[in-house]
Amino acid sequence: MSTPPKMTVTMLGAPGSGKTMFLHGMYAILSAGFEGYFLYTVDPDQDLDLMDAWDLLSDKGETPPPNDPEPVPYDFVLKDGLTPLVEIDLVDFRGGAALDRVAEGPDDVRVLRERLARSDSIYLVLDGANVGRTVASILASGQTGPAVLDRGQDSTQVARLMRFISDATQARTSRGQAAPSVVVLISKTDLLAQTSGVSRAEALAVVAKNLDRLASIATVKGVTAMVCPVSIGAFGTGDSDRVDPTALNPENVYHPMIFSLWHFLSEGQDEHALALRRDNARLSAAAEVVSERRGQLFGSWRHSTVISQNEQEMAALRERIAELKQTMSEEGRRAVTLMSALAGMPIIKDGEWQS
Ligand SMILES: Nc1nc2c(ncn2[C@@H]2O[C@H](COP(=O)(O)OP(=O)(O)OP(=O)(O)O)[C@@H](O)[C@H]2O)c(=O)[nH]1
Ligand SMILES: [Mg+2]
């Protein structure tokens, strides 16, 4: 692959839901390498910023401050060994950017909405402590009634955030593009057991069973989604500025990015196949013109310009077709490998559980 394709990823989540810490944890783990995949910032200074923030957390327990209205943009490149697979455009917004009104909020509100419409992958970040409370109320009510995340903490946010994903999906499909992949990222899963009253595994099973009510966008037709329980450490619910650094224990932080890339490459296969069909059709048309002109009496003499123009086009098309076929087989192979790295993660396509 010559220049890697660019993928846009957007995190949506209420203030304090754990977006920035997830991003820091993901970078710390993936920049050190996971199963041969490496994530780097394009700008080496940003690598220092991210590593400094991670060092503050792992050495002193200092957590990142809440984001301000100035979004923090990152350009990453994900590599398989030394081979760049994809460039990733990811922006860390404050949670309020998704919840304020455009007319009243700072400019990040408009920027986030515009960005969602061109996002290839969207992470719906749900605070695990809240999800746990919802699980407790689902269990208490005998799994009936509406399952909304704890009001005042997260309820309206989830509905609102999902609406943005729905709008983004519509914007993309109206342009003939695939829907963005969706990661239902349950953050702070170390708190799930505490707030749900059942074990983490049981709580996650309740989430999976009730996903159509908790995060219904993940189960609609046309959407491919993954539920990903993430934790940065068993920090408890205490002071959010400072946590116990010895409790640091990142879990599942690389899965969302691997899933986004898998989906991006899989969708790319359909687009490549379409381009291949188009190029093959043009090649046959040009070949037909050449053979027809050559077949005419004095063909090569009277039609030499047309013939040579078509032959040039045929050579260019053959080259492009060969490149496309190579890209398709490389990306197809990579998609299969990426999927194996996601083994065991719950993936839902068109409302159907895949694993
Ligand atoms: N127990 C626990 N707490 C966490 C975890 N991740 C984050 N937190 C806590 O949640 C707080 C908020 O996390 P952030 O990542 O800053 O949240 P955010 O979504 O970026 O917030 P805004 O930038 O304000 O939108 C942190 O300061 C931590 O105290 C986790 O995995 N476990
Ligand atoms: Mg933040």
CATH code (residue 42): 3.40.50.300
Would you state the pLDDT for residue 213?
83
Residue 187 Cβ contacting ligand 1 at under 6 Å:
yes
Pocket flag, ligand 1, residue 245 (CB < 6 Å): no
Residue 214: give the domain boundaries: 6-266
- Residue 295 predicted with pLDDT over 90: no
15 Cα nearest atom in ligand 1: 25
- The reported pLDDT for the residue numbered 144 is 56
Residue 353 within any structural domain of the chain: no
pLDDT band per the 50, 70, 90 thresholds, residue 187: very high
Averaged confidence pLDDT in the chain: 91
**pLDDT-derived band at 269, boundaries 50, 70, 90:** very high
User: Quick check: is 241 in a domain?
Assistant: yes
The environment of the single-atom ion ligand 2, i.e. residues with CB closer than 5 A, is: 19-20, 67
pLDDT of residue 2: 63
Closest CA to 273 of 331, 319, 225: 331
- CA 181 to CA 98: how far, in whole Å? 18
- The reply to whether ligand 1 has any atom less than 6 angstroms from the CB of 19 is yes
Give CA–CA dist 108/183, Å, rounded: 22
One domain for residues 146 and 286: no
Asked whether the predicted pLDDT for residue 300 surpasses 70, the reply is no
CA of 88 to the centre of ligand 2 (A): 18
Residues 186, 123: contact at Cβ < 8 Å? no
List, for residues 145-186, the tens digit of each pLDDT value: 555 555 555 545 788 888 889 999 999 989 888 899 999 999
Task: Let me know whether 225 and 119 are in one domain.
Answer: yes
Q: Is 184 helix (H, G, I), strand (E, B) or coil?
A: strand
Specify the number of domains making up the chain.
2
Is the pLDDT assigned to residue 7 strictly greater than 70? yes
Q: Whose CA is nearest to atom 7 of ligand 1?
A: 18
Same domain, 155 and 225: yes
Least confident of 37-41, 118-122, 332-336: 332-336
Q: For residue 150, what pLDDT is reported?
A: 54
For a mutational test of ligand 1's pocket, the pick from 10, 22, 63, 252, i.e. the residue with the most ligand atoms closer than 8 A to its C-beta, is: 63
Do residue 81 and residue 210 come from a single domain? yes
For the ranges 44-58, 161-175, 194-208, 277-291, the lowest mean pLDDT is seen at: 161-175
Domain final residue, candidates 235, 266, 297:
266
Burial 321-331 (b: 16+ CB within 10 A, else e): beebeebbeeb
The ligand minimizing its distance to the Cα of 234 is 1
8 Å CB contact between 212 and 242: no
The pLDDT score that the predictor gives to residue 188 is 96
Residues 157 and 224 grouped into a single domain: yes
Query: Is residue 348 domain-resident?
Result: no
Are 262 and 285 found together in one domain?
no
Q: What is the mean pLDDT of residues 21-33?
A: 96
- Cβ–ligand 1 distance for 12 under 6 Å, the answer no
Own/partner contacts of 72-77, CB < 8 Å, gap of 24 or more, are 74/23, 74/41, 74/46, 75/41, 75/42, 75/43, 75/46, 76/27, 76/39, 76/40, 76/41, 76/42, 77/4, 77/39, 77/40, 77/42
Q: Which of 266, 287, 318 finishes a domain?
A: 266
Q: Can you tell me the mean pLDDT for 81-93?
A: 95
Ligand 1 and 63: CB distance under 6 A: yes
Q: Which residue has the higher pLDDT, 350 or 294?
A: 350
